[in-house]
Amino acid sequence: MTSFREVATLCEALAQTGSRRALAQQVADFLANVDEESVRPAVRLLLGQAGRGEAAVSGATLWPVLVRLIGSDRVPPRLQHEAVDFGQAVERLLRERPSGPEPPVLSVREVEDRIRALGRERGPGSRGRKERLLADLFAQLTPLEAKYVAKNLIREMRTGAAEGVVLDALALLAGGDRRAVERAHQSLGDVAEVAARVLASRGQPLPPSTLAYFRPLRPMLAQSAESASEAVAVFKGRAGIEEKLDGARVQLHREGEICRLYSRRLLELTPSLPDVVTAVLQKLAAPAVILEGEVVPVDGAGRPLPFQELMRRFRRVKDVERLVGEVPVRLQLFDALQVGDASLLDCPYRERWTILERVRGGLPTVRRLVPEDAAAAEAFYGRAVADGLEGVMVKGLEAPYTPGVRGRGWLKVKRATSVDLVIVAADRGYGRRHGWLSNYHLAARDDETGRFEPVGKTFKGLTDAEFRAMTERLSALAVGEEGATVFVEPRVVVEVLFTDLQRSPTYRAGLALRFARITRRR
C-alpha cells in the first residue's frame, strides 16, 4: 500500500512549486502510482481532509503533547513563534527528539485510521484519551511526516495543491476532460471519490455521475455585495432576493421514510435534530428529494433567537429530547437539488424555486421577492435588517446550482454595525502572514471601571501593506508577550464592522463580536 511518507514527500515538493500546471502534473504523477485501496485516504491526506473535520485538533492542544513527547528541556526558546507555520514548528520540534531507531513506515490508511480515531473520542475523559492517541501517533512519525499530520489536524495544509489543483491533476489522468471531472465533483461532492473513479476508468471516458441520496454534496457559495441594489444590478434586474437567516444551513435527503440532515461541511446532523426529521417526514409533499434550507432557533412565539442558541443543539447526541423542548428550531427551505431521480443542478434558479414550492408541502420557505427595481430590493433588505436578520441573498434567476463554487450566481448582502475599538494585543502570524502581528485583540472601554475589555479578535480587512505598517506600529507599543501573543499599549484605534454580538464566557465583558473586520485605522 502507498505509504504516508510518500504523501509527506509530495507535499513538501508541492510547497516549493509555484506554477499551477507544475503542481497538477506532480499530483497526477503521484496518483498514477497509488494503489486502488490507497487512493481515497491518500487524496484526503494530501488535501488536509483526513477525518473530515471530526478529528480536528487545535495547535494549543497538540503542542504540549509533542513537548512532553520529546522532553520540555529540549525545546528551543521561541521555536514555535519563529516558524513559518504550525506544521514547520512541529517538524522543527520533532527534530529535537533524542536519536533512536527510524520510525516505522505507516500506510496512508493506517495514518487516516489513527486520525479518525481521535474523532471517536467523546465524553468524560476524552481529552486525556485523545492526547494519548496523539502521543502514540507522533512517536511513530518522522519530523516531515509529523509536519503534514499536524497540518491535517489543524486544517491548514498550505501546499498550493488545493482541490482545484487536484481536479486539474485528475483531468490529466482522464485524458484532459476537465469538464467531466468537474461534473463528477459536483455530483459526488468528494474529491477523493472522484479520484477513485478517475483512476478506475483510466484509458476510458469517465462514466457520468449522478446525485445519490444520503451522499451529501458541497453547497453552492456566494460572493459579497455592498448593497441590495448593487447586487440586483449585477443580474440586470433578473434576480430573486431572499432573507438571509441567522441559523445553520442544512441539506436534507429524504427517500421514502428515511430522512437525513447534513451540515454545510457535510457532517451528519440527523441525531441532533429529530424534530426537524419528523417535520420533514410529516409535511413534505414529495417522497424523494434533496433540498436545502436553514435551521433557526425560535422562541415560544416563533420569533428567531440568536445563532448562539442553535449551537446548543448542533451535533449533540445526549439529552437531545430535553434540548428539543428547551431550544425549538424551525426549518425554512430555499433550494431544491433533486426530485425523484431528476437532478436539478443545471436548472436555473427560477425553475428550482418553482419546483421547491411544489414539493415543500407544509414546510415553510424563506421569505422571497423578485423585485421590480432597485428600490424594491433595498426596501426588502431594510425590512430584513429591521426584523433582526443577517441581511439578504440575491440570486440570478438564470443561475444554475454549482456545488462548492463561490461564483457570481449568488451574492450576499449582510448588515454590519460600525464601532471604534482599541487594539490591546496581537498574535504572531503564520503562513503568508509570517513575520506580521496579524490577529488583533479588540477591546472597548468600560465607562465604570475605565478598563479596556476585550470583545473579539480579527485578522480581516487589512492589505499586506497595512499589515506591515500595523506590525511596525504595534511592535513599538509592545509591553509584554505570552506565547504567540504580544500585548501592547492601548493606543491604536480602529473602526470595526461586525454583524452581531453574542454571549461569551471567554471575555470578562460577557460579549463577543461576530464576523468582525477592520475597515480603517482612526
Give the N- to C-terminal CA distance of the chain in Å, as an integer.
Answer: 58
- Annotated catalytic residue within 244, 283, 414, 457: 244
Type of residue at 383: R
pLDDT value at residue 350? 98
Residues 6+ apart with CB under 8 A from 162: 47
Domains assigned to the chain: 4-154 (1.10.3260.10), 221-413 (3.30.470.30), 417-521 (2.40.50.140)
Which three three-digit cell numbers place residue 24? Answer: 497538477
Please give the pLDDT value at position 453: 94
- H helices, E strands: number in the chain: 19, 19
Structure confidence at residue 305 (pLDDT): 78
Q: Look at residue 53 in the predicted model and tell me its pLDDT.
A: 64
* H or E element at residue 50: none
Label the pairing between strands 452-458 and 478-482: unpaired
User: So what's the pLDDT on residue 315?
Assistant: 63
CB 302 within 8 A of CB 351: no
Distance CA 300, CA 314 (A): 20
Could you list the pLDDT tens digit for every one of the 522 residues in the chain?
Answer: 899 999 999 999 999 998 999 999 999 999 999 999 999 999 999 999 987 666 778 888 899 999 999 887 778 777 877 788 889 999 999 998 888 888 999 999 999 999 999 988 888 888 899 999 999 999 999 999 999 999 999 988 989 999 999 999 999 999 888 988 988 888 888 899 999 999 998 878 888 777 889 999 989 999 999 899 999 999 999 999 999 998 999 999 999 999 999 999 888 999 999 999 999 999 999 999 999 999 998 888 778 877 777 877 776 667 778 888 788 899 999 999 999 999 999 999 999 999 999 999 999 999 999 999 999 999 999 999 998 888 999 999 999 999 888 889 999 998 888 899 999 999 988 767 778 888 999 999 999 999 999 999 998 988 888 999 999 999 999 999 887 899 999 999 999 998 888 888 889 988 999 889 999 888
C-alpha cell at 38: 490507497
**502 beta partners:** 512
Query: What's the grid cell of residue 52?
Result: 473530515
Quote the cell numbers at residue 413: 448582502
Looking at residue 313, its pLDDT comes to 79
Identify whether 244 is a catalytic site residue. yes
Q: What does the pLDDT read at residue 176?
A: 86
- Give every CB contact of residue 287 below 8 A, 6+ residues apart in sequence: 254, 255, 256
What kind and span of H or E run contains 87?
A: helix 86-94
Q: What is the pTM of this model?
A: 0.76
Burial track 284-309 (b if 16+ CB lie within 10 A, e otherwise)? beeebbbbbbbbbbbeeeeebbebbb
The grid cell for 131 is: 492526547
Instruction: Name the nearest CA neighbour of 211 among 443, 403, 419.
Output: 403
Assigned C-alpha cell, 297: 432557533
Q: What share of the chain is helix, strand, coil (3-state, %, to 5)?
A: 40, 25, 35
What pLDDT sits at residue 157?
92
The number of beta carbons lying within 10 Å of the beta carbon of residue 491 is 12
Which DSSP string do the residues of 485-512 spell out, in sequence order?
EEEE-TT-EEEEEESEEEE-SSSTTSEE
